[in-house]
């Protein structure tokens, strides 16, 4: 069985992205005054969730080398 590291990395990205996006949604919005009102945590949490999902999909496809 070949070592496929995409699934554990994808799970790590999904976990960290979920935590970051959750903090962006549920946390205090006073923090974003320094970033011109842009919810950076929500944006990058979503990016991490998408990347993690992409890794998981690629790692779970049949016929991988």
DSSP 14-49: HHHHHHHHHHHHHS-GGGGGTTTT--HHHHHHHHHH
Q: What pTM did the predictor assign?
A: 0.84
* 26, 45 Cβ separation under 8 angstroms: no
* Both structure tokens of 15: 């976990």
Spatial CB neighbours of 58, under 8 Å, sequence gap ≥ 6: 6, 10
* 54, 7 Cβ separation under 8 angstroms: no
Q: What is the pLDDT of residue 60?
A: 86
**10-50 pLDDT tens trace:** 999 999 999 999 999 998 888 888 889 899 999 999 999 99
């Amino acid at each position: 069985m070949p070592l496929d590291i995409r699934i554990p990395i994808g799970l790590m990205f999904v976990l960290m992205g979920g935590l970051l996006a959750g903090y962006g949604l549920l946390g205090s919005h006073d923090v974003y005054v320094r970033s011109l009102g842009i919810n950076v945590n929500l944006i990058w949490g979503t990016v991490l969730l998408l990347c993690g999902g992409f890794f998981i999909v690629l790692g779970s496809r049949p016929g991988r080398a």
